[in-house]
Amino acid sequence: MIIVREVAQLRQAVAERRQLGANGEKAEYGSATTQQHTVGFVPTMGYLHEGHASLMHKAREMADTVVLSIFVNPIQFGPNEDLDSYPRDEERDLEVARREGVDIVFLPTVAEMYPQPTRTKIRVSSLTDRLCGASRPGHFDGVTTVVAKLFNMVGPDLAFFGMKDAQQVAVLQQMVTDLNMNVTIVPCPIVREADGLALSSRNVYLSAEQREQALVLSHSLRKVREVSEDVVQNTLTILQLYQMVESTITSSPLADIDYIEILTFPGLEPLPPKQRLSDVEEDIIVALAVKFGNTRLIDNMRIQKAEVLSHV
């Protein structure tokens, strides 16, 4: 496993891997074979958990070379957010990467990524109006900008993102499509603890009591899934679904609700409150953001309704 901290080193390491054939051997007749060599990329903010590991695992299955980046990106954090306290453990992260068979790990410093403050931002409109885009102004511009930079540095064919950050997946897919980036976004399922809590680096902030009460998020979404799969219950309206989720969450005294939204996916558009779940023909997402103390947790459940699966 190669560990690099500079962009020039990263480009070199990826280029050398691309010269290998799909089987890892140096290609004799380079042109055809090198074109077949696929690079899979997993961009993260580190403090890796099994959710990240599942992305690396998927990349390992689908690509010849797996690149992992670890970078806590300042420009996607708001002024009152947790940039300074964000958990970091490089040594443990490298162990996880090694275990998952990652080929190249890129760990740039802030100065390497932003030698000067950036004057360029990538803005995806419309999809960033609701959910975390509304609660965290400027956050997604920070995400799209850093991901575009990383894509330009790594030059991947495939890039893997967890559906825990469903809005992020939708936003990045829009950017890739709109800017004709030659990358395929591969969304991966949410990974959960045994009791249902969605894995997140920020779970480490929770006290024991907050950790217990945070289960209302996954419980409410489990109920949503059960309702959607039940031919009688799925005649519930969007509003009734919302109320069911809200009452489940508010059963926790510590839960401070930022948003509960029921939207189409990936278009992220609202649905008529009186529409029956069974009558909706697009994929739906039920998305939550709830604070426990200072820790903001998000979770979501995607309900597949469309006859044809959207790519994302």
**Cβ closer to a second copy: 10 or 72?**
10
Quick check: 134 binds a second copy (CB under 8 A)?
A: no
Length of the chain: 312
Among 72, 94, 96, 148, binds a second copy (CB under 8 A): 148
Asked whether position 181 contacts a second copy by CB under 8 A, the answer is yes
Point out the annotated binding site for (R)-pantoate. Answer: 76, 168
CB nearer to a second copy: pick between 10 and 42: 10
Q: Is 111 in the site for a second copy (CB under 8 A)?
A: no
**Contact, 144 vs 176, CB < 8 A?**
no
Q: Taking the C-alpha atoms of 83, 88, 90 and 93 in order, what is their torsion angle to the nearest 10 degrees?
A: -110
* Rounded (5°) CA angle 286-280-289: 10
15, 22, 110, 306: which one binds a second copy (CB under 8 A): 15
Amino acid of residue 120: T
Q: Does residue 312 contact residue 165 with C-beta atoms inside 8 Å?
A: no
Nearer residue to a second copy within complex by CB, 159 or 175: 175
Residue of the chain from 61, 79, 180, 232 that contacts a second copy (CB under 8 A): 180
Residue 109 interacts with a second copy (CB under 8 A)? no
Q: Is 219 a catalytic residue?
A: no
What's 21's DSSP letter? -
Query: Interface mask (CB under 8 A) for a second copy, residues 273-302, using x and -?
Result: ------------------------------
Query: Cβ distance 305 to 286 under 8 Å?
Result: no
Interface with a second copy (CB under 8 A), residue total 38
Q: Which DSSP helix (H) or strand (E) runs through 240? A: helix 238-250
Rg (C-alpha) for the chain, rounded Å, is 20
Contact flag: residue 309 with a second copy (CB under 8 A): no
The burial class, CB within 10 Å (0-12 / 13-18 / 19+), for 244 is middle
Report if residue 153 touches a second copy, rule: CB under 8 A: yes
Write down the catalytic residue from 52, 57, 139, 219.
Answer: 52
The whole-angstrom separation of Cα 107 and Cα 116 is 18
Cis omega (within 30 of 0) on the bond before 266? yes
Selected range binding a second copy among 20-28, 39-47, 160-168, 217-225, rule: CB under 8 A:
20-28
Q: Which residues are catalytic?
A: 52
Residues engaged in binding a second copy (CB under 8 A):
7, 11, 15, 19, 26-35, 118-127, 144-145, 148-149, 152-153, 155, 174-175, 178-182
